[in-house]
Amino acid sequence: MASKLKVGVVGSGGVTRAFHMPGWAAVPDCEVAAACDSHRETAEKLAGDFKIPSVHTDYRDLVADPAIDIVDVCTPNQLHTEIVIAALEAGKNVLCEKPLATTTADIHRIGEAAAKAKGILMVAQNQRFTPAAVAIKRFLEERDLGEVYYARIHATRRNWMPARPGFIDPALSGGGPCMDIGVHALDLGLWLMNFPKAVRVSGRVHTNFAKGWDIPGGWGEWDRDLVGVEDFASGFIHFENGATMVLEASWLHHQKESQDFSAQIFGKNGSIHWPSGEYASVFNRALVDATVLPASGLQPSHTEEILAFAKAVRGSDPSPVPYTDSLKVIGILEGIYESSKQNREIALA
């Protein structure tokens, strides 16, 4: 076997520790060789716990290390762009947590760097690698829903308000539940729909509860003064082909469900619901329900995502989740914010 590919993680916090480290451990020909965090103790703790030999507090030092083949970007959202571009310009392969960036302008900058880069860039949309999503995508490859005319996208939580600054301080997060979890469900829905072109967006964002004390957060208290993002958003999206979509995203919301993470796609031949796999259709004027069962034999979604990325790096395959997909997802989310700000429908470029 060729020598192992060396990975440097930038951002040594929650997602790195809980999901990316187990993911890298599952790839036989990769090893995490460097940990970076602007908070030295966080990087040192990760390095100590996972036997990572090198520690940095400035991502530029990690990116400049010629021994590093892969940079795994797990910092708060607003720092992704500069780190991804620096890593691509240094010739690295890059895996970046969602959202790739919080504006289409930044994604265009990333795209320019990616076009000139020798490494590949993948966006870590792990929901695509869940057993339910894998099975539904396979099903739709063979069972056409017909003309898709509508989609219902939910990423709504009742009282799961993130407490860490990286999520609630707009300078770090670039948005609330839209950017945090809306990005997951919207990416999943658009991917199942084969990314139709969105042309107009109308939306509204609210900060209803996050600055107050009415709803107790399931993850503990957060700094009310730091909150500068929405806690609820809704959007109505028009596609060029005439289809429409409703999107809802929340961290705090009076709903019975603790969490509703779902995408339901309606076509003239049938509808499909993720993640339940529920399929509804009609045959010979008989109403038919069926269920697409989750794919078997898969590892946790972040691990499957990292395995797909490593395979693409080794095999020079195209990126399993290219930045061009994020451009479409973030274009819609950006449209929701802009529509809310301007109090009118927004035409997308």
Ligand X SMILES: NC(=O)c1ccc[n+]([C@@H]2O[C@H](COP(=O)([O-])OP(=O)(O)OC[C@H]3O[C@@H](n4cnc5c(N)ncnc54)[C@H](O)[C@@H]3O)[C@@H](O)[C@H]2O)c1
Q: Which two tokens stand for residue 280?
A: 């509804």
Under the binding rule (CB under 6 A), the answer on residue 10 touching ligand X is yes
* H or E element in which residue 344 lies: none
Q: How far is the CB of 15 from ligand X (least distance, A)?
A: 4
Question: Strands of 259-267's sheet, edge to edge?
Answer: 286-291, 278-283, 271-274, 259-267, 148-157, 244-250, 232-239, 198-206, 346-347
In one-letter notation, the amino acid at residue 344 is R
Distance CA 261, CA 347 (A): 27
Which range touches ligand X (CB under 6 A), out of 31-39, 228-236, 255-263, 335-343? Answer: 31-39
CB-CB contact of 321 with 123 (8 Å): yes
Q: How far is the CB of 1 from ligand X (least distance, A)?
A: 29
Q: How far is the CB of 197 from ligand X (least distance, A)?
A: 26
Q: Is 189 left (phi over 0), alpha (psi -120 to 50) or beta?
A: alpha
Which range touches ligand X (CB under 6 A), out of 9-17, 21-29, 103-111, 152-160? Answer: 9-17
- Strand pairing of 30-36 and 346-347? unpaired
Which range touches ligand X (CB under 6 A), out of 8-16, 142-150, 276-284, 311-319? Answer: 8-16
Q: How far is the CB of 39 from ligand X (least distance, A)?
A: 4
Under the binding rule (CB under 6 A), the answer on residue 249 touching ligand X is no
CB-CB contact of 33 with 12 (8 Å): no
Under the binding rule (CB under 6 A), the answer on residue 330 touching ligand X is no
Identity of the residue, 172 or 348, whose beta carbon is nearer to ligand X in the bound complex? 172
**Region 124-183 residues binding ligand X, contact defined as CB under 6 A:** 124, 126, 164, 166, 180
**Region 52-91 residues binding ligand X, contact defined as CB under 6 A:** 59, 74-77, 79
Could you list the residues that contact ligand X (CB under 6 A)?
A: 10-16, 36-39, 42, 59, 74-77, 79, 97-98, 124, 126, 164, 166, 180
